[in-house]
Chains A and B, each alone.
Chain A
Amino acid sequence: MLLFLLKRLAALVPVLLGVSFLVFLMVELAPGDVTTLLLGPLASEEAKATLRKTLGLDQPILIQYAKWLEHVLGGDFGVSIATSRRVVDLLAPRLLATVILGGASLALTIVFGVAVGVITAARAGGLVDRVTQSVVLVIGNLPPYWLGLVLVFAFSLQFRWFPTSGMRSVSGNGGVTDVLNHLVLPAVTTAAAPAAVVAAMVRAAIIEVMGLDYIRVARAKGVPRRTIILKHAMRNALPTIVTIIGLQMGYLFGGALFSEVVFAWPGLGQLLYTSIVGRDLPVIQASVLAIALVFVLVNLAIDMLNRALDPRGQHA
Chain B
Amino acid sequence: MKTRVSISVALVYALLASTALFAPGAAHASGTLIWGTPAEADSLDPHAMGGWIGRSITQQIYESLLDEDLTDPKATSVKLKPALAKSYEVTEGGKVWTFNLREGVKFHDGTDFDADAVKFNFDRFLDEKSPQYYPKAKGFIVGFASWIDRVEVLDKFKIRVTLKKPNYEWFQSGLQPYGVFLIISPAAIKKYGNDQISLHPTGTGKFKFVEREQGVKIVLERNDDYWGEKAKLDKIVVRVLSDPTTRVNALLANEVNLITTPPWDEIDGLKKAGFQLVTNENVPSIWYVSINTRHPILKDKRVRQALNYAVNREELAKTIYQGTATPAWGILSRGTPAFDPNFRAYEYNPDKAKKLLAEAGYPNGFDVTFQIPQYGTGELAEQWLQRDLKKVGVNVTIQKFEWISYMHEWTQGLKDSVGFNEMGWGESIPSWTARQARTDTAPPNGTNVGWYSNKEVDALFDKALAENDESSRIRDYRDAQKIISDDAAFIPLINDQQPVFISPKVKGFVNPAQDWFDFSTVSVDP
Write the residues of chain A forming the contact surface with B, with a CB cutoff of 8 angstroms.
30-33, 36-45, 47-48, 50-51, 54, 79, 82-85, 90, 93-94, 111-112, 115, 119, 122, 149, 152-153, 156-157, 159-167, 169-171, 174, 177-178, 180-181, 184, 224-226, 261-264, 266, 270-271, 274, 277-279
Q: Is the CB of B142 within 8 A of A44?
A: yes
B75 interfacial contact with A, CB 8 Å: no
Interface core residue of B19, B198, B410, B445 (most chain A CB under 10 Å): B19
- The answer to whether A42 and B253 touch (CB under 8 A), given A85-B214, A266-B213, is no
B139 interfacial contact with A, CB 8 Å: yes
Residues of B228-251 whose CB lies within 8 A of A: 237, 239-243, 245-246, 249-250
- The answer to whether A264 and B22 touch (CB under 8 A), given A31-B409, A47-B138, A156-B253, is no
Q: Is the CB of B411 within 8 A of A157?
A: no
- The answer to whether A180 and B245 touch (CB under 8 A), given A51-B135, A264-B240, is no
Residues 407-444 of chain B: 1 if any A CB is under 8 Å from the residue's CB, otherwise 0?
A: 11111000000000000000000000000000000001
Q: 8 smallest A-B Cβ distances: which pairs?
A: A32-B408, A39-B139, A43-B139, A169-B27, A40-B178, A164-B249, A181-B22, A40-B140
- The answer to whether A262 and B243 touch (CB under 8 A), given A30-B405, A38-B139, A166-B255, is yes
- The answer to whether A47 and B135 touch (CB under 8 A), given A84-B199, A170-B27, A278-B404, is yes
- The answer to whether A32 and B249 touch (CB under 8 A), given A51-B139, A90-B214, A271-B215, is no
The chain A residue sitting closest to B253, CB to CB, is A164
B50 interfacial contact with A, CB 8 Å: yes
Cα distance, A168 to B136, chains bound together (Å): 35
Residues 159-188 of chain B: 1 if any A CB is under 8 Å from the residue's CB, otherwise 0?
A: 000000000000000000011000000000
The chain A residue sitting closest to B237, CB to CB, is A170
Cα distance, A177 to B40, chains bound together (Å): 27
Instruction: Output the least CB separation between B176 and chain A (Å).
Output: 11
Instruction: Output the least CB separation between B15 and chain A (Å).
Output: 10
Residues of A within 8 A of B22 (CB): 177, 180-181
Residues 9-30 of chain B: 1 if any A CB is under 8 Å from the residue's CB, otherwise 0?
A: 1001000000110111011110
Interface core residue of A41, A85, A161 (most chain B CB under 10 Å): A41
Q: Is the CB of B405 within 8 A of A32?
A: yes
Residues of B within 8 A of A152 (CB): 246, 249
Please name 17 further chain A to chain B contacts, defined as beta carbons within 8 Å, in addition to the given A115-B12, A170-B34, sorted by A numbering.
Answer: A40-B179, A42-B178, A47-B138, A84-B43, A115-B9, A122-B5, A156-B253, A160-B26, A162-B23, A163-B26, A166-B239, A170-B217, A170-B237, A181-B24, A261-B246, A277-B403, A278-B404
Residues of A within 8 A of B9 (CB): 115, 119
The chain B residue sitting closest to A34, CB to CB, is B404
B486 interfacial contact with A, CB 8 Å: no
Q: What is the interface size of chain B, counting residues whose CB is below 8 A from a CB of the partner?
A: 67
Q: Is the CB of B214 within 8 A of A83?
A: yes
Residues of B within 8 A of A271 (CB): 215
Instruction: Output the least CB separation between A159 and chain B (Å).
Output: 8
Write the residues of chain B forming the contact surface with A, with a CB cutoff of 8 angstroms.
1, 4-5, 8-9, 12, 19-20, 22-24, 26-29, 32, 34, 40, 42-43, 48, 50, 135-136, 138-140, 142-143, 178-179, 195-196, 198-199, 213-217, 237, 239-243, 245-246, 249-250, 252-253, 255, 402-411, 444-447
**Contact among B29, B241, B253, B445 for A157, CB-based, below 8 A:** B253
Enumerate 6 A-B pairs (CB-CB under 8 Å) in ascending A order. Answer: A31-B405, A79-B195, A157-B253, A170-B32, A264-B242, A278-B404
Q: Is the CB of B405 within 8 A of A171?
A: no
Cα distance, A153 to B252, chains bound together (Å): 10
The chain B residue sitting closest to A188, CB to CB, is B16
Q: Is the CB of A171 within 8 A of B29?
A: yes
- The answer to whether A112 and B239 touch (CB under 8 A), given A39-B136, A84-B198, A85-B199, is no
Residues of B within 8 A of A164 (CB): 246, 249-250, 252-253, 255
Q: Is the CB of B4 within 8 A of A226?
A: yes
Cα distance, A278 to B403, chains bound together (Å): 9
Residues of A within 8 A of B246 (CB): 152, 164-165, 261-264
**Contact among B12, B213, B249 for A112, CB-based, below 8 A:** B12
The chain A residue sitting closest to B256, CB to CB, is A170
Cα distance, A184 to B198, chains bound together (Å): 35
Q: Is the CB of A261 within 8 A of B242?
A: yes
Interface core residue of B32, B138, B246 (most chain A CB under 10 Å): B246
Cα distance, A116 to B28, chains bound together (Å): 40
Residues of A within 8 A of B253 (CB): 156-157, 160, 163-164
Cα distance, A41 to B410, chains bound together (Å): 9
Residues of A within 8 A of B34 (CB): 170
The chain A residue sitting closest to B445, CB to CB, is A44
Residues of A within 8 A of B245 (CB): 149, 262
Cα distance, A61 to B520, chains bound together (Å): 50
Q: Is the CB of A184 within 8 A of B140?
A: no
Q: Is the CB of B402 within 8 A of A40?
A: no
Residues of A within 8 A of B140 (CB): 39-40, 42-43
Cα distance, A40 to B253, chains bound together (Å): 37
Interface core residue of B12, B140, B143, B196 (most chain A CB under 10 Å): B140
Cα distance, A128 to B60, chains bound together (Å): 61
Residues of A within 8 A of B217 (CB): 170
Instruction: Output the least CB separation between B410 and chain A (Å).
Output: 7
Residues of A within 8 A of B445 (CB): 44
Instruction: Output the least CB separation between B73 and chain A (Å).
Output: 27
Cα distance, A112 to B405, chains bound together (Å): 44
- The answer to whether A180 and B19 touch (CB under 8 A), given A36-B408, A170-B239, is yes
Instruction: Output the least CB separation between B97 and chain A (Å).
Output: 22
**Contact among A85, A160, A161, A226 for B1, CB-based, below 8 A:** A226
Instruction: Output the least CB separation between B68 and chain A (Å).
Output: 20
Q: Is the CB of B408 within 8 A of A161?
A: no
Interface core residue of A163, A171, A264 (most chain B CB under 10 Å): A264
Residues of B within 8 A of A40 (CB): 48, 50, 139-140, 178-179
Instruction: Output the least CB separation between A62 and chain B (Å).
Output: 24
Residues of A within 8 A of B32 (CB): 170
The chain B residue sitting closest to A184, CB to CB, is B19
Residues of B within 8 A of A166 (CB): 216, 239, 255
The chain A residue sitting closest to B4, CB to CB, is A226
The chain A residue sitting closest to B12, CB to CB, is A115
Cα distance, A30 to B402, chains bound together (Å): 10
Cα distance, A226 to B8, chains bound together (Å): 14
Instruction: Output the least CB separation between B188 and chain A (Å).
Output: 14
The chain B residue sitting closest to A227, CB to CB, is B1
Cα distance, A162 to B21, chains bound together (Å): 10
The chain A residue sitting closest to B409, CB to CB, is A31
Cα distance, A166 to B213, chains bound together (Å): 12
Q: Is the CB of B215 within 8 A of A270?
A: yes
